[in-house]
Amino acid sequence: MRLRAPVTVLAAAALLTTGLSGCGGSDSGQGAGERPTKVVLLTHDSFALPKKLTQQFEKESGYQLVVRSNGDAGLLTNKLVLSADNPDGDVAFGVDNTFASRALDAGVFDSYTPHDLPAGVSAYDLPGDDGSHLTPVDQGNVCVNIDTTWFAEHHLTPPASLDDLTKPAYKNLFVTPGATTSSPGLAFLLATISKYGDGWQSYWKKLVANGAKVVDGWDQAYEVDFTQGGGKGKRPIVLSYDSSPAYTVSGGKTTTKALLDTCFRQVEYAGVLQGADNPDGAKELVDFLLSPAVQKALPTSMYVYPVAKGTALPKQWATFAVQPTKTWDVAPDDITKNREEWLQQWSDVISG
């Protein structure tokens, strides 16, 4: 054994160290005093924009756009909080109203408000922050969806409200992703808390007693259990988004419908990070996210609605995706304060 090749060790060590140092050094391109060459965007893994638009940003700003995207909004927020003293980028997009106050409390964001905010954007400001750190970029609603063809075939009046979901007529018909494992799941829990106040636990007990199925993610609920999903499941009522009916169009008609009295509004924000290497580039990127071209691209690229008033929607959306006028909202501070307790109580109810 003692004869075993030290050559291997040396070769491997050489390989590893040269490789690592070669790559580790690539980030050090920004010397002090020079104009930064790039702007780094931290976001979640649902972020996507057409290449044409990002190239346009690079050309106009003169910065290379580096996108680092991992996990969902919750994970992104926690990464930002944990690296608040040494951020991995200049600007963040994707923190939503259910997680925003956690990031603000940790001092993740620097103050910035775009100079010429498009009309309608400030209506989506985070209450309490009012646009001073976080700029709204997109919005959408988590709503209960139904398979209208199923209800027509079964000659059953479809449900319309949260109350209806606990009625015996709809026993074993509803499936939802869970609040502890899915962000739409959490949004739905918040909608019920908004509507029923302290009575939300008894609502959930009734819901579970009425055969509501709780699964881990949106994909399981929609694609496996929902009758209009890819796996053609057995349940015609599912928790999804207000835009979902635009994706079940066949023969010029949509086969699903969002129940507009059951929605929780999610707004996603962008903000300049405290301690950014390139704050100017970060600000330019926030402005860029509100530009007409990006706002127009949001529905097709990220499945969300624009926040700028008057932005044209894709044809399918304009026809089939209807937004609610009234939503069941919970103040961001209340969410941060009570999240742990609510999730614990919710877990107890559904495993009980």
CB of 23 to other proteins, least distance (A): 4
CB of 119 to other proteins, least distance (A): 27
The rounded distance, in Å, linking the Cα atoms of 63 and 250 is: 43
The rounded distance, in Å, linking the Cα atoms of 114 and 132 is: 9
Binder of other proteins out of 30, 37, 55, 70 (CB under 8 A): 70
The rounded distance, in Å, linking the Cα atoms of 111 and 270 is: 11
Binder of other proteins out of 110, 339, 345, 349 (CB under 8 A): 339
Interaction of residue 219 with other proteins, rule CB under 8 A: yes
Binder of other proteins out of 32, 34, 59, 86 (CB under 8 A): 86
Measured from the CB atom, the residue of 72 and 110 that comes closer to other proteins is 72
Binder of other proteins out of 58, 110, 163, 223 (CB under 8 A): 223
Identify residues 298-337 at the interface with other proteins (CB under 8 A).
300-301, 303
Contact 254, 282 (CB under 8 A): no
CB of 117 to other proteins, least distance (A): 27
CB of 79 to other proteins, least distance (A): 6
Identify residues 116-175 at the interface with other proteins (CB under 8 A).
none
Which range binds other proteins by CB under 8 A, 77-85, 159-167, 199-207, 326-334? 77-85
Which range binds other proteins by CB under 8 A, 4-12, 117-125, 155-163, 322-330? 4-12
CB of 178 to other proteins, least distance (A): 4
CB of 285 to other proteins, least distance (A): 15
Interaction of residue 33 with other proteins, rule CB under 8 A: no
Binder of other proteins out of 244, 254, 278, 295 (CB under 8 A): 244
Identify residues 165-204 at the interface with other proteins (CB under 8 A).
178, 180-181, 186
Region of residue 225 (phi > 0: left; psi between -120 and 50: alpha; otherwise: beta)? alpha
Crossing angle for the helix pair 51-61 and 292-302, nearest 10 degrees?
150
The rounded distance, in Å, linking the Cα atoms of 332 and 347 is: 21
Binder of other proteins out of 189, 215, 267, 273 (CB under 8 A): 215
Cα-flanking dihedrals φ and ψ of residue 269, to 5°? -120, 160
Contact 141, 266 (CB under 8 A): yes
Interaction of residue 27 with other proteins, rule CB under 8 A: yes
In the shown chain, the binding pattern of residues 247 to 286 toward other proteins, with x for contact by CB under 8 A and - for none, equals xx--------------------------------------
Which residue do the tokens 């003692």 mark? 2
Binder of other proteins out of 56, 61, 64, 83 (CB under 8 A): 83
Interaction of residue 82 with other proteins, rule CB under 8 A: yes
